[in-house]
Amino acid sequence: MEQDRLILDRIKDAYERISFIEGEKEVDETYIDYFETVAKFLTKVKEASIFVNSTTYDKADEAALKGTLEELYAPAKPEVYGTSYLNPKYATEKFGTDIGRLLSFLYAELISIIPYTYDHRNEDIAVRLELFLEIYTAFICAKQENEKPDYNALRGIVYSFAFDYQDLLLNEMIGFKFDTFHSVGEKILMEADLNTTDYLYRYGEYISDNETEISRFIATLTEEETQRIADVYTEGYRKGFEVTGKDISIKEYVQIYYPIGFERIIRKAVNNFKEMGLNPLIFRCASSVICGRDTESPGFISTCYNKQFFFDHEEDAAIWYDKAYVARRVEAYRNAYEKVKYQANHYGGPAVMEIFGEVPFAPEIKEECCHFTEDQQKLLVDFRTKATQITQEYVPGDERSFTIISFPIPEIGDKFKEIFAETVKLNTLDYELYRDMQQIIIDTLDKADHVEVKGMNGNRTDLSVALHELKNPSEETNFENCVADVNIPVGEVFTSPKLKGTNGVLHVTKVFLAGLLYKDLSIELKDGMIADYNCANFDTDEKNKKYIKDNILAHHDTIPIGEFAIGTNTVAYKMAEKFDIADRLTILIAEKTGPHFAMGDTCYSHEEEVVSYNPDGKRIIAKSNEVSEQYKTDPSKAYFGCHTDITIPYDELGSLTAVAKDGTRYDIIREGKFVLPGLEELNKPLEA
């Protein structure tokens, strides 16, 4: 097509201009090394592009494929990051705060060209190369006029780029997730020879020992073993529709999120989904800073090569974020969904396979990084609220489901194979056994007006959780009996508590949330809303509070408690204790290892009116709280776009007691053990 040819010409012209930068010295000497460094990187990307598009690529051996990727991602690796322009701290030391931040952002954004090269996404490549050259030209002009580079002019260039290309940029966040074209990832997943590991290096993602070792390990499993794992994964998805009374037959698509290296299992899962009548959507996680790159992004993804690098650039949008930009972004968000509205409407929800075992990450907080102002934080919250509303229009929450399951990776340690085997057992525990034991807990909780939770062994938790009143206890329940369907493994009962009357302090000595480590985390609740918070990660309260506000509160001044749950999977708890991996568990498993409290939206966000029942036939009535109830009148005030589970482990739990209106007390857990008759099986792993 003519359009494609023109884009290729733009890329060719851009790379040709970039090739002259090294040695050109047309900018002030302060910035020569920066532009030459970035130009050298882009030249390597160009060479990789030639290789990927050559006739020799398909026959290339693993050494050549691996060498190419290693060279491309080298500038962002931890061992060189301290003196890299990708590091905002280093860049601002060289160029000052404003220009340093902007140039560091620019380099980070150009890193996204690596996966685009493997995906042949030429327009995405072209516009970023042109952005770099436009910035470079501005520095040339400044030198020619014997002036310092004008930050406002440079910011204007970046602003125009982010504003003008929103439709293209949001295609990565939305369009590609629903596009039915055969992506590079899908071709690798379904067609690659999995008997070697060279296929891993064709994704265009950084490939570590985790990916190669897990691929080799899964290759040692029998066909029956891999099929069993795939069946648990896909059956959980099917059950999710069944138990909520949703019709899976009207759905055509399922998005598959998976870690690179698990292709043997995912390939079988895809075949299972096709037998259900569902077409898989396989896509890459977002890689662009502007699009909202994230180590937890959906899609296919490898383990992160430098978490500090990702963390440092989380708020780069502060360079250009303003009211007009948000309005444009909201418009583009709707446009992106409009283009894929058929697929979105017939989308059943995601099937997620997660990993756990990475070394806990405690980030360095750098003042030199970009940070949103208070006004920008409010704009960000406003955008997320509107974006969620648009998503609900095109992908109705009451018509879709999901499933999520997780497995360890080799980084977890030399007991990896044993932990993997234990996890497989964990993910296939007796559904009916846990269902019946959890019903005993629910029957007791449904007698209560509130629940009191107190810590021990250094845990300072002292919390009272208010429950909704049951008008017809013989037919209604507050708690969902969560077994192994959408949320694998089995093991929790949960509710959306009342806010008024929910008071006290939630405390954990150490917890790992969304890839971030929190030490001595404390959250105070007043009538269900967060009133105060702190942790011990950093040397000042200011830094600690900002860390929590940015990541747990998602930039809100306060958010409500959205969920109270009791995890019953003592097998998971014992596994964590046995292998000393509690700090490496995914929240999916960690939340099953004790009582947990989610801050933010409820578990039934946007599905408040969906009628659902427990296996005993009782209708679940606790689906909202005093804040989320505003979905009926003003959805913008009902939702927060976050839901963070914080778990108290059994060994820090002094007591969990259901308290009736008349003051009658029913202990459910005392000193880390279940005490209700009929729950003896839950204590066996704890006593082993």
Sequence length of the chain is: 688
Q: How big is the CA angle at 266 (ends 264 and 268), to the nearest 5 degrees?
A: 75
pLDDT digits (tens, 9 = 90+) for 533-543: 999 999 899 99
For residue 454, give every residue at least 6 positions away whose Cβ sits within 8 Å of its Cβ, in sequence order, or none. Answer: 461, 462, 463, 653, 654, 655, 656
Question: Residue holding tokens 């003196």?
Answer: 83
- Report d(CA 37, CA 95) in Å as an integer: 15
Is the alpha carbon torsion for 582, 583, 586, 588 positive or negative?
positive
Ranges of residues in the chain whose predicted pLDDT is under 70: 181-182, 292-297, 484-485
Q: What is the strand order of the sheet 492-495 is part of? A: 480-482, 492-495, 561-567, 595-600, 643-647
- The model carries a pTM of 0.88
Question: Distance of CA 436 to CAs 274, 441, 443, 685, Å?
Answer: 33, 9, 11, 18
The predicted structure's pLDDT at residue 294:
43
- Report d(CA 385, CA 404) in Å as an integer: 24
- Report d(CA 607, CA 629) in Å as an integer: 11
The predicted structure's pLDDT at residue 452:
97
The predicted structure's pLDDT at residue 139:
98
Which stretch of DSSP H or E encloses residue 513?
strand 498-513
- Amino acid identity at 23: G
Q: If DSSP states are collapsed to H, E and C, what string results for 71-119? A: HHHHHHCHHHHCCCCCCHHHHHHHHCHHHHHHHHHHHHHHHCHHHHHHH
Query: If you write DSSP's letter for every residue of 353-408 in order, what string do you get?
Result: EEEE-PPP--PPP-TTS----HHHHHHHHHHHHHHHHHHHHHS-GGG---EEEEEE
3-state SS, residue 592: coil
Average pLDDT for the chain: 92
